[in-house]
Every structure is written in C-alpha cells, then in structure tokens.
A and B are shown apart, each in its own frame.
Chain A
C-alpha cells in the first residue's frame, strides 16, 4: 500500500504543472485565442532550470532560502494528501493542522524573501500576502470543525480517502455545498487567482503574488513556480474529492473519475478568471469573509440537523 501511495505522490508532483496549464487554455478559449500548449509549464520549468541567476545586492541568504522553503513546505504537504482516494504517504491525528501551518511557513519565507529585496513593490505585495490569508485560515479551520464533527476523525486521509467523502455527504448533506464554495474561495485567495489577484496583470502596483517574486530568476524562480502549481493542486484535490465523492474500488476507474473531477475544478477556476474582474484591494477582505461566513453557516446548519 505504501508503494501505491508513494507512486501517487510522485504522480501528483509530475502532473500538477499540466493542470495549471488548463486554466490558461480555458482563459484563452474565452478570449477567442488558441492559447499556449498544454505542456507550456513544463517547457517554462525546463527553460528556467537551464538558466543562471542574478541576485540583488540588497538581498541576503533568506532570499535564496525563500523558494526552497516554500517548495519544501508544499512537497511535504502533498505527502499528507490522499490523492484520488488513495491513502497518503503519512497520516496522523491532527495532520491537517500541521499541513496548514506548513503552508504558513512557506508563506513566511515567501514574504521574507520579498522584503529582502528592499523593493517598494515587493513590500507592497508582501503586505497583501500577509493580510488576506488571515481570514482564509479561520475559514479553513471552520470547515475542519465541520468535518471533525461529522466523522469524529481528525486527519486528511479519514476525510478524503476511499469512500469517506461520500460519508461526509451523507452525514452533512446540502450544507456541504457551502463548504465546497467556501473552499473554492480559499483556493482562489491562497493561490493568488482572479478575483483576488491577477496572475496575468502587467502593472506591478496591482499584483500580490507575482510582484513578490519579481527579483527571483533561474532555478530559484522555477522552484517558486513549481511550488505554486502544487499548492493549487492541493486545494483542487480537496474540492475535487468533495464534488465527486464516488469510489468504486477499481483503481483505474477511480483515477479517471478523479482526473475528471480535478479537471472540472481547474476549468471552474479558469472560467472564474475569464468572466470576473479583479476586486479592488479593499473589497478582497470582504470576499474572503464570505468564505468564512459560508463555512460558519454550514457548521451551524449541520448542528441543527444533528440536533
């Protein structure tokens, strides 16, 4: 079983950049363009890995540590994630808290690396990066309370592996829809997508995540990009398992069903990006608050139903 988990882990790492390209494709479709090839992210990574780097004279070792630690955090996080319903490599009681805080560690270092450059733009991005996820974490915790209350278990694998998502639906029912929406908002916020942040914008003043990594180049930048793909994959997997909770026990079927579901999540993100404009910065906190309100609301509703 362990071998299978490790294989899925490695597989997830390999396919994560592919899925991110799907978003680009969807956006191109909405824009009436052909769009980049689906393997574009692999080409970019390889191109970046071949290059050298230029470091700012203002920077210190922290600047070089930033990409490594944030990538390392995401790589470790994926070890706790049940992919396509298969048990994760590691799992223990409360692993989800460790996972969330590990993502926090990655964020700490991304911010620290941005502050290291002494650039006013990167400082601005860093301040926003520190601001928005605060409520996100609270709403994620609220969702965890709901899951814990439903199942009495407290690790990712007991909620998302095998047929467990189905059990969640059976015991929570329709409020789980709100959880899905709430998780989707968290996905958009944490991964710096429209309407929180526009990864394709051209004006540094309006960016959050992109502006923080302006000074990174070469393999360092490759690590950041790679980390971002996998972080998106992490959140997308959670949502995919919720919107498609079926598990036949037949591995090939499960994997294709899961692939379809996760593709849906990415397409949804792409559609959101195509039809929405980025929010004004002061409206973002309200958007994130909506996610918290939904999660909180879902928890109250389930309390009602359980009685």
Chain B
C-alpha cells in the first residue's frame, strides 16, 4: 500500500537528485523552498493522531520560516549581490547525480536494517531524511559557490529535522523551535557575510577565500 507521505517524500528524493544535477542557483533555491514546506508538513500527517490548534500553528510557523523566510533571504542575497547564477562545481553534475542515487540506496539499506518504530507508516521517511542530510553535506563539500554551500547547509538541516521527526513523534515543539531560530539567525548572518564577501572580492568562489590566509 502506498501512503501519501511516501508519495510526497519520493518527490523530495527526486528534488534532491535535481538539486545535485542542476547547475543553476535558482533551481537549487526552489528545491530548498519545496523541501522546507514538505519537511514541515510531514510531522503533521504521520503518526495518525488528531491534531489540535497547537500542532497546526506550529506547522504553519515552521512552514513559513522554512518555506518562505529562509529561501527568500537567500534569494534576496542572490539578487542584491547580482551573483552569476551558474557556477562551476568541484564534483561534476553527472557524478553528483550518480552519487545521489547511491546515497538513496545506502539510506534505504540502513533504514531497512534499523527497524525504527515511527517508520512503520512512511517507509521512505528515514531514507529521505538521511539522504537529505548526506546530500546537503555533499553539496557543502562539492560546490565552490558560497550560496550553493549555504543552500547545502539548509538542506542538511532539513534532513536533521526529518530525522528528529522519525525518532520522536511527540513533545518536540520547544526544542525544534529553538533549532529553527538558530537556523534563521545563522542564515541571516550568512546572507550579510555573503554580501560582504561579494563586496570585497566581486566573486562568490570560496576557493578564493584562501587568499585571506596571510
């Protein structure tokens, strides 16, 4: 039987592949927004509980921050800094995409071995969470452009959030609000720093930060 959660999550997995194979920042940014929305909805629909007003408010808040505020912060950073939206990667796009497929397989294998209690309903939940995490980290490693790296970081964070969801279905709101605020602050700081880097170097290539060493 196919659960709706699984269908949504399979779209998330697909979006990860897209983000790994894409050379455009705008695509990456849309993908992140999409993932943010999905990731914040998922906790609401799994577990099969009735949800009260608290849950809904919380979900809406997360969704606003993840799906709208964070991506648009980055978006405006891109706009303001007039950064070229195509960038050269360290690991090529085809290789990244193949890597993404391998991540998914590995995540599925690991997930199958762990027998997590919450996974009973959405079989893809754990694989999707782990893939998000690993793919985000991979983006951090494999991309030169600072903005792509920030987006990779956010993707990783989405993964962490989803992992958290798989482990604890209830009583998590406070902790996660905390995390969310941290992220928000982090992203804003990064957006400011990005602008400064841009002003200083006229470029977003992190490899060039090495010249700051002296």
Q: Do chains A and B touch in the complex (CB under 8 A)?
A: yes
Chain B residues within an 8 Å CB radius of A304 = 6, 108, 123-124, 127
Tell me how far the C-beta of B49 lies from the nearest C-beta in chain A, rounded to whole angstroms: 24
| Inter-subunit contact A297/B6 (CB<8 Å) | no
Q: Which positions 119-146 of chain B face chain A at CB distance < 8 Å?
A: 123-124, 127
Given A285-B94, A286-B93, A297–B17 Cβ distance below 8 Å?
Answer: yes
Q: Which positions 272-300 of chain A face chain B at CB distance < 8 Å?
A: 285-286, 289-290, 293-294, 296-297, 300
| Inter-subunit contact B2/A305 (CB<8 Å) | yes
Q: Per DSSP, are chain A's interface residues mostly helix, strand or loop, or mixed?
A: helix
Asked whether B196 is an interface residue with its Cβ less than 8 Å from the other chain, the reply is: no
Interface-centre pick from A285, A296, A301, A305 (highest chain B CB count, 10 A):
A301
Give the segment of A27-35, A173-181, A207-215, A244-252 that binds chain B. A173-181
| Inter-subunit contact B21/A300 (CB<8 Å) | no
Asked whether B68 is an interface residue with its Cβ less than 8 Å from the other chain, the reply is: no
Interface-centre pick from A173, A290, A293, A305 (highest chain B CB count, 10 A):
A293
| Inter-subunit contact A175/B10 (CB<8 Å) | yes
Total B residues in contact with A, Cβ cutoff 8 Å: 21
Q: In the complex, A304 Cα to B13 Cα: how many Å?
A: 13
Given A174-B7, A305-B6, A293–B108 Cβ distance below 8 Å?
Answer: no
Which residue of chain B is the closest to A301 with respect to CB atoms?
B10
Which residue of chain A is the closest to B123 with respect to CB atoms?
A304
Tell me how far the C-beta of A235 lies from the nearest C-beta in chain B, rounded to whole angstroms: 23
Asked whether B14 is an interface residue with its Cβ less than 8 Å from the other chain, the reply is: yes
Asked whether B101 is an interface residue with its Cβ less than 8 Å from the other chain, the reply is: yes
Chain A residues within an 8 Å CB radius of B162 = none
| Inter-subunit contact A300/B94 (CB<8 Å) | no
Given A286-B94, A307-B123, A300–B105 Cβ distance below 8 Å?
Answer: yes
Chain A to chain B: the 5 pairs with minimum beta-carbon distance, closest first: A173-B2, A304-B123, A174-B7, A296-B101, A301-B10
Other A-B contacts than A293-B100, A300-B104, 19 sampled, CB-CB below 8 A, are: A174-B2, A285-B94, A286-B97, A289-B21, A289-B98, A290-B21, A293-B17, A293-B21, A296-B101, A297-B10, A297-B13, A297-B101, A300-B101, A303-B108, A304-B6, A304-B108, A305-B6, A305-B123, A307-B123
